[in-house]
Amino acid sequence: MATSDPVYLRVVEDIRRQITDGTLPPGAPIPSRAQLTRKYQVGETAARHALRVLASEGLIIGRVGSGHYVRERPDLSPLHRWRFLDHPAPFAADLQSQGRRVTWDWHSEPAEAGPDIARRLRLDESTTLTRTHYVFRGDGRPLQLATSYEPLEFAAHTEEERRSLVARVYAHGIKITEIVESVHTRVPRPAESDALDLPAGIHVLHVERTHWAGDRPVETSDIVIPGDRFRIMYSMPV
């Protein structure tokens, strides 16, 4: 039954097994196209296709001129929601608690809401609000992107204000009562692959977070996280 399977799958499965069972440790070189054709008695097309499939699964990474190598797959670091709710940098406090030196760049600009954000903040599409882009880095390497949208009146003006959205909004007599996050996964957009330094085939977790004051949305943000490096932990008291 398995004899009529495509031949490239034989190669994929053999190498995948060697990677998962540790025969090929992270960083180990994968045989080159030429070596695979000889070793598995397959054509170049099959060898090439096998490498592409393994790369798209995130198991190996190809370096032009050098070869394919088993990808370093750090254990999925947990990002704990619920512990660090009121933080301008979602998950950043969590990364810090993992002993990484977390830095971040941000820049704000006025922007039109647009259909998507308008719906999420229950505003008119043409409303102008403050959009802030964040890039978070751990020990220099990019870890996470976030884009936050706030109505102008809540926007932070000082570094101090930026630290707590809750306090900032409370200054207007509005109390945040709920945070809603929606998680899904998707292919990174080109700009995101670039900013996060993602190899092909790695998906991202996209978290849409909205701060609510009663039934009024107060802030919303899009958080983009490499899907293969992190797990998001939600803890819910019963």
Partner DNA sequence: CGAGGTCACTTGGAGCCCCAACTTTGCAGC
Partner DNA sequence: GCTGCAAAGTTGGGGCTCCAAGTGACCTCG
Report the interface residues with DNA, using CB under 7 A. 5-9, 30, 32-35, 37, 42-46, 49, 51-52, 55, 62-68
**CA dist list (Å): 50 to 130, 138, 185:** 46, 33, 25
Say which entry of DNA, a copy of itself, none residue 230 contacts (CB below 5 to 8 A, set by partner kind).
a copy of itself
- Please identify, among the stretches 98-106, 147-155, 200-208, 216-224, the one whose residues bind a copy of itself according to the rule CB under 8 A: 200-208
State the Cα–Cα distance between residues 165 and 84, nearest whole angstrom.
12
Smallest distance, a copy of itself to C-beta of residue 41, A: 23
Q: Do 162 and 169 meet the contact criterion of CB atoms below 8 Å apart?
A: no
Our CB check for DNA shows the closer of 40 and 154 to be 40
Smallest distance, a copy of itself to C-beta of residue 231, A: 4
Smallest distance, a copy of itself to C-beta of residue 110, A: 26
State the Cα–Cα distance between residues 98 and 202, nearest whole angstrom.
23
What's the token pair of residue 126? Answer: 């043409």
State the Cα–Cα distance between residues 197 and 199, nearest whole angstrom.
7
Q: Across the strands, what pairs with 106?
A: 134
Residues of this chain, 162-181, that bind a copy of itself according to CB under 8 A: 166, 176-181
State the Cα–Cα distance between residues 146 and 209, nearest whole angstrom.
10
- Please identify, among the stretches 63-71, 82-90, 103-111, 155-163, the one whose residues bind a copy of itself according to the rule CB under 8 A: 82-90
For 2-17, give the DSSP string. Answer: GGGS-HHHHHHHHHHH
Q: Do 185 and 176 meet the contact criterion of CB atoms below 8 Å apart?
A: no
Our CB check for a copy of itself shows the closer of 7 and 179 to be 179
Say which entry of DNA, a copy of itself, none residue 91 contacts (CB below 5 to 8 A, set by partner kind).
none
Say which entry of DNA, a copy of itself, none residue 6 contacts (CB below 5 to 8 A, set by partner kind).
DNA
Helix (H, G, I), strand (E, B) or coil at 133: strand
Our CB check for a copy of itself shows the closer of 34 and 233 to be 233
Smallest distance, DNA to C-beta of residue 197, A: 14
What's the token pair of residue 207? Answer: 């978290």
Of 99, 123, 39, 27, nearest to 66 (Cα)?
Answer: 27
Q: Interface residues with a copy of itself (CB under 8 A)?
A: 56-58, 76, 78, 81-82, 85-86, 166, 176-187, 201, 203-205, 208, 227-228, 230-238
